[in-house]
Amino acid sequence: MKSKLLNFPKSFLKPRLGQPWALLALPRGQAGSLLGRQLFRIGLILLVFGVGLVAMTGWLLNQAGDRIQDEFLRRQAAELVNGMQDIPGGPLQMRLPNETLNAYAQRRDGYTFMVENADGLITLESAPMARAYLAPAMGMMAQKPTLLNTMSRDGSAEAMYILTMPVHTPRGVYYLTVGQNRTIDDALLATATTETFNRLVLWSAPFLLLALMVVWSVLQGSLAPLYRLSGKVRALDVLGGETLALENVPRELRPLVESFNLLLNQLTRTLEAQKGLTADTAHQLKTPLAVLQARLEQIDPFKGKELLLKDVQRMSRLVRQLLHYAVLSQQTANLHPTDLNATVRTVVASLVPLARKADISLAYDGPEAPLVVQLDGGLLTEAISNLIDNAIRHSPAKGTVDIALTPRGEYLDIDVKDRGPGIPPTEQALVFTRFWQGPDVPHEGHHGGAGLGLALVAEVMRQHNGQASVQSREGGGSVFRLTLKA
């Protein structure tokens, strides 16, 4: 029962922290890894944000280029306004350095300007073709600085940025218009954007990997309570009625733990009911079997009487062991300091008459000094008696059963060695399960075992936090070992 209840798959409980990319796989019929799915989702979100950041950066660079172009136009307009001179009685003049005027005339850097009077007549222009470039602003008479873009008229190859603004002089109001071809600054901006974009992409990949590593570390820490909880589940004594404690359990995991504890409580009640039914049934069968045996013994001899008596005795033994197993499963061992050496010697001495009756010798090898450990003397006596009785019944006549108590570091081993038929290695893992009697036990004429003695031994050792095991003995036979903590 215990092995079935606690046989959790290792792949379910073992943290798979060392396989980050394998976690992304979703095996057929399985839900995959929560850690891997979260890492994949967050990585996808980071990628989307990264692409969005790059796109936003490109858009911001374009906006910055427009603002820079506007600022350049304003500076050019301010320079031209400072150079405008309205001489009384003479024409409006543009007083600028010759080099600057030549640059405007030759449209270096794509700059062009013109000046209109209040009647819409052009009084100044950087070159004869200036009005053709700046035609969208002609006659506009803007009362405040206004920015224009000729993209829709001229296309991207010939488009211009244009700024037109009023200039107040003693003679009246003039309207200054200055413009620049978009293609020149756009080329510079495109170069800057490309370089910035390439660097951004170059650096974004390492930063994305670094972010994934940080996310991986954070997710590990977030799931650590779940892994610790899995370890507690693995160490849980379900048959002992243990449940998971709610202390230090994260709020998000509390509903899961509470549901799991509810399930354990239901399982415990079911097991208790099953044990109670077994005990009641065994108790009710004791008296009828005893009466049946007594009546058979009083009947005159008849063919098959001895075999029938043996069967009744076997049934009685099975009922007694069932009752003992049910009672043992329902109680908890009362552990207190006890001399293990004296306990084993007492058990061996009490079974000497039974061994002599079967023409078997008992030999005990143990230390002279007391070995005081925490144990329930009555239960451990029952377990050792079962092993020695089992060894006596399966040993050949004139044989010897060796019992040894051996300290081994922080553990103590109690070995019961016989020279019986032995147990095949393939069956040794099953000997402590209920009703196991081996693959070759005949239905009649065997040693009267009911298949519960070794299950009782295993239950006693479970309550002592110890272990029962068996292995083949060199030269034939078996070695049954009980291991306790010193």
Taking 70 as the threshold, does the pLDDT of residue 11 lie above it? Answer: no
Q: Which CATH number fits domain 333-485: 3.30.1490.20, 3.30.56.10, 3.30.565.10, 3.40.50.300?
A: 3.30.565.10
- Residue 17, pLDDT > 60, answer no
Between 445 and 20, the higher pLDDT residue: 20
Closest Cα to residue 365, out of 345, 379, 386? 345
- Percent of the chain at pLDDT > 90 equals 19
Pair 146, 139: CB distance under 8 Å: no
Identify the band that residue 201 occupies on the pLDDT scale cut at 50, 70 and 90.
confident
What is the band of 361 on the pLDDT scale with cuts at 50, 70, 90?
very high
Residue 442 has pLDDT above 50, yes or no: no
Burial 106-140 (b: 16+ CB within 10 A, else e): ebeeebbbbbbbeeeeebbbbeeebbebbebbbeb
Q: What is the pLDDT of residues 45-77, one digit of tens each?
A: 888 887 888 788 778 877 777 787 788 889 888
pLDDT in tens, 89-113: 777 888 888 888 888 888 877 889 9
Amino acid identity of 182?
R
pLDDT in tens, 164-198: 999 988 878 999 999 888 766 666 666 777 777 77
Pair of tokens at residue 454: 């070794």
Q: Residue 401 is encoded by which pair of tokens?
A: 């059963």
- List the chain domain ranges: 32-224, 236-331, 333-485
pLDDT digits (tens, 9 = 90+) for 206-259: 887 888 888 888 877 777 788 788 888 877 777 667 788 877 778 878 888 888
**Using one digit for the tens of pLDDT, what is the confidence trace for 112-166?**
999 999 888 888 888 888 888 888 888 888 889 998 888 777 777 778 888 999 9
Residues paired with residue 336 on neighbouring β-strands, in sequence order: 375
> What is the pTM for the complete model shown?
0.45
CATH topology classification for 236-331: Helix Hairpins (1.10.287)
